[in-house]
Amino acid sequence: MPVNTTVVSAPSARITNRREDSRLTQRFPKTISFLFMLLVSFTATSSGQTHSAIDNNTQQLPQKQLIILTSFSEQVSAKLASGYQRIHPEVRVRFLHKKTPAALTHLQMQMQPRPDLIMASAVDAMDWLSRAGQLQPLNTDDRINYTPFAYSGYGFMWHSGYLQQYQLDSPNSWQQLLQPKYQGHIAMSSPIRSGTTHVMVEMILQEKGWREGWAYIQQLAGNLATITARSFGVSQGIVRQRFGIGLVIDFFAFSAAAKQPKIGFSYSSPTTFLPVSIGIVTETPAAEQARGFVRYLLSDGGQKSLLSAVISRYPINSDLLRQQPEHILSQHRRQQRYTLDYDHKLAVRRYHLVNALFEYSITYRLAFLQRAWNTVYRLQKMPLLNTSVHLAQRLNTVISQLKQTPFSELQLTDSALLEQFSKPIPGRQLSKVQQQLQQQWQQWDQKQQDIVMRELIQLEAAVLPMDAP
């Protein structure tokens, strides 16, 4: 019988049925072994489910409903649901598709329709929901209130045809992306719009430290072609060759590569591998069906479905990959790489601060940062800069100013201050503290733009030939 997959119609959600598109160690993080232990314990429960044939009276049974809120694409959702509904045709699975930050708001504001499950790749978001009391565990003795069923890594996606056209090398390190030749060829999303982008920003901050991490991001922004409205826009733009390189979670590249042989991917160094998880919403009226869906994802059938091109997530059952050594996931897993021991608690503690700070210091200032860094790189090529110590010092001062952030490490130690930050929600006021700080950030930005651009103009006048246009 046909698979009964439908979607919910709700404001601000993307709802269609069309195809949509430490520290350093050399092994996967300890998280992965924990995930496998979860799989072993859950498989025993799921193996007892009855997989009987569907008789002719099934269609006459009253349908039960399961609503799943997810950041996954409609294509991925349909693939996951199809396997479950072959076993449970009596359950009507419905999906509500939203970006991860919008999904958090949906649960936080108790918006309708109320979901029974939430499924996302961003572990920070799941940790935040668990901390907010929005989730309940699969089993009463579980250590966390959500269930990892897969994992993914983070890195750089590219289009080899585009790189060849612009004579660019495929990236293999974070530092490489700062080279001037990559100006206008890189894209990323914003952490306030994309949960997986939030993880990548946190990776940079945790690896480099708060001050040096933001300095890196400020300079990287100078090479960006754009900041997309959602993470899928990065991979889609690369496929369409709007830009050549993107910061993405790995499955975007793997699923695109199945259709586009010129799509490439490499894990950043360091990278991190984090759980892809599903959580049962607190007080759901369909707890039984919700637990059944989670247990399906942990079963052999659910784990095998992760290897399909459209999903392309690493299963927590590592035996499946060993059985398919030529699979793209197996090939990438065998590659040597450095991994970051990602600090979940730290990420959750400053979750909304990082998002707000990125908006005010990067997104809103993107045009300025692009223009300023372009001028810096052009000046660095001028012969006079190499012979004048005074002019070189002035330019270095400008570079230092461009790398600054308006929120200090000292402020970061104030837990009460961090708790004042939240996501902007229509009809709901931000705390007075957050409003005041964001006003200060705007003033900081205006002052910095004034100083930097004035100094760059003066430096240009000093080093350019007199007959230059």
Across residues 249-255, what is the average pLDDT? 96
- Average pLDDT in the 69-96 region? 95
- The pLDDT of residue 466: 58
- Report the C-alpha gap between 212 and 22 in whole angstroms: 17
466 or 42, which is more confident: 466
The encoded tokens of residue 146 equal 């959500």
d(CA 332, CA 328): 6
For residue 467, the model assigns a pLDDT of 53
pLDDT of 35 strictly over 70:
no
Distance CA 296, CA 372 (A): 52
Give pLDDT, residue 465: 67
Q: Average pLDDT of 318-347?
A: 90
Choose among 204, 184, 187: nearest CA to 268: 204
Per-residue pLDDT, 427: 85
How far apart are the C-alpha atoms of 114 and 160, rounded to whole Å? Answer: 43
Res 136 pLDDT > 90: yes
| CA–CA gap between residue 25 and residue 9 (Å, rounded) | 45
pLDDT at 170 over 90: yes
CA–CA distance, 314 with 448 (Å, rounded to integer)? 44
pLDDT digits (tens, 9 = 90+) for 355-378: 999 999 999 999 999 999 999 999
pLDDT attached to residue 193:
94
Domain parsing of the chain, residue ranges: 5-150+274-334, 153-273, 364-463
Class of the CATH-defined domain 153-273: alpha beta
CB 69 within 8 A of CB 106: yes
pLDDT range class, residue 146, cuts 50, 70, 90 = very high
CATH superfamily of 5-150+274-334: Periplasmic binding protein-like II (3.40.190.10)
Instruction: State mean pLDDT over 54-70.
Output: 66
Q: Which two tokens stand for residue 24?
A: 């350093």
Whether residue 465 contacts residue 383, with contact meaning beta carbons closer than 8 Å, is answered with no
User: Confidence class of residue 285 from pLDDT cuts 50, 70 and 90?
Assistant: very high
Mean pLDDT, residues 432-443 taken together: 98
Is 419 a residue whose pLDDT tops 60?
yes
The token pair that represents 141 in the structure block: 């003795």
Q: What is the pLDDT of residue 338?
A: 86
Instruction: Assess contact for 188 and 355: CB atoms under 8 A.
Output: no
Domains 5-150+274-334 and 153-273 are alike in CATH topology:
yes
Question: Is residue 20's pLDDT more than 50?
Answer: no
DSSP for 29-90 reads -HHHHHHHHHHHHHHHHHTTS--PPP-TTGGGSPPEEEEEEESS-HHHHHHHHHHHHHH-TT
